C-alpha cells in the first residue's frame, strides 16, 4: 500500500515526465528552396542558362493565382523553385540582409568547374568575389534580383563510406583541441586519417 504523500512508482513518474516533454520534429534534409523571382524568361535564363539547372516542372502557384511556379533541379535531385509574375521586372539591386532574411544560397561545384567560374562570370559581365573559407573555396555573386549566391568547393575528398559532415566535425574537434583559429588543410588531412583508422583491417 502506498501511504499518503508517498510517490507511487518510478514507472509512473517516468511516463508522467515523458508526457510533459515536448518532442522535437526531426528533419531529414532540405526538401526544396523557393525564391521570389521576376518573369518566367528571367528565371529560366538564369537558373538553367547560367547555372545549368534542368527546368523540370511548371504549374500555377496553388497558393497565389497571380504567380507561376517553376521548378529546377540544382544537381542533387532536390528542387529549387521560383515564383514568377509576368508583370514584374528584375530587381537589379542587392536583396535585403536584415534579420530573418536569407544571406545567401550555396551550391556545390566540382573543382574543375570551380576553376572555370571566374572566367565564365566575366563573360556574362557578372561581378564576383572569391573567398578562402579554410575548409572550402567560395565564389560569391548575385542573381538578377539581387539574391547572393555562392559556388562552393570543398578542399577535401571524403573517403568512401563517410559523409562530408563527418570529415568537418572531426576537423572541428581537432581545431578546438589545438586552439586554432579556423579549420585548415592540416586539420582536414588529419581528420581523414582518423576516420580511415576506424576501418576494419587485418592484424600484422
Q: 6 lies in a domain?
A: no
Instruction: Give the SS3 label for residue 190.
Output: helix
Number of domains in the chain: 3
Query: Model confidence over 114-124: pLDDT tens digits?
Result: 999 999 999 99
Q: What is the pTM of this model?
A: 0.86
Q: 148 lies in a domain?
A: yes
Question: Is residue 95 domain-shared with residue 148, that is, in the same domain?
Answer: yes
Q: What is the DSSP letter of 27?
A: -
Predicted local distance difference test score (pLDDT) of residue 181: 98
Range of the domain at 74: 31-88
Question: Is residue 57 domain-shared with residue 77, that is, in the same domain?
Answer: yes
Question: Is residue 172 domain-shared with residue 140, that is, in the same domain?
Answer: no
Question: Is residue 96 domain-shared with residue 150, that is, in the same domain?
Answer: yes
Overall average pLDDT of the 174-183 stretch: 98
Which residue, of 44, 65, 88, is where some domain finishes?
Answer: 88
- Round the CA-based radius of gyration of the chain to a whole number and report it: 24
Strand order in the sheet with 79-84: 32-36, 79-84, 68-72, 55-60
Q: What is the CATH number of the domain that holds 58?
A: 3.10.180.10
Amino acid at each position: 500500500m502506498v501511504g499518503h504523500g508517498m510517490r507511487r512508482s518510478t514507472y509512473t513518474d517516468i511516463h508522467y515526465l515523458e508526457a510533459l516533454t515536448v518532442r522535437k520534429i526531426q528533419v531529414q534534409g532540405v526538401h526544396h528552396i523557393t525564391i521570389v523571382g521576376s518573369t518566367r524568361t528571367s528565371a529560366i535564363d538564369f537558373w538553367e542558362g547560367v547555372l545549368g539547372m534542368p527546368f523540370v516542372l511548371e504549374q500555377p502557384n496553388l497558393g497565389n493565382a497571380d504567380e507561376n511556379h517553376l521548378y529546377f533541379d540544382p544537381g542533387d535531385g532536390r528542387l529549387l523553385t521560383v515564383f514568377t509574375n509576368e508583370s514584374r521586372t528584375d530587381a537589379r539591386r542587392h536583396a535585403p540582409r536584415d534579420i530573418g532574411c536569407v544571406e545567401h544560397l550555396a551550391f556545390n561545384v566540382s573543382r574543375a568547374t570551380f576553376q572555370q567560374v571566374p572566367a565564365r562570370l566575366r563573360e556574362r559581365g557578372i561581378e564576383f568575389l572569391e573567398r578562402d573559407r579554410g575548409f572550402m573555396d567560395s565564389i560569391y555573386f548575385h542573381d538578377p534580383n539581387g539574391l547572393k549566391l555562392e559556388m562552393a568547393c570543398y578542399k577535401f575528398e571524403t573517403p568512401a563510406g563517410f559523409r562530408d559532415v563527418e570529415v568537418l566535425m572531426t576537423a572541428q574537434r581537432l581545431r578546438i583541441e589545438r586552439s586554432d583559429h579556423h579549420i585548415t588543410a592540416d586539420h582536414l588531412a588529419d581528420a581523414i586519417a582518423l576516420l580511415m583508422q576506424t576501418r576494419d583491417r587485418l592484424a600484422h
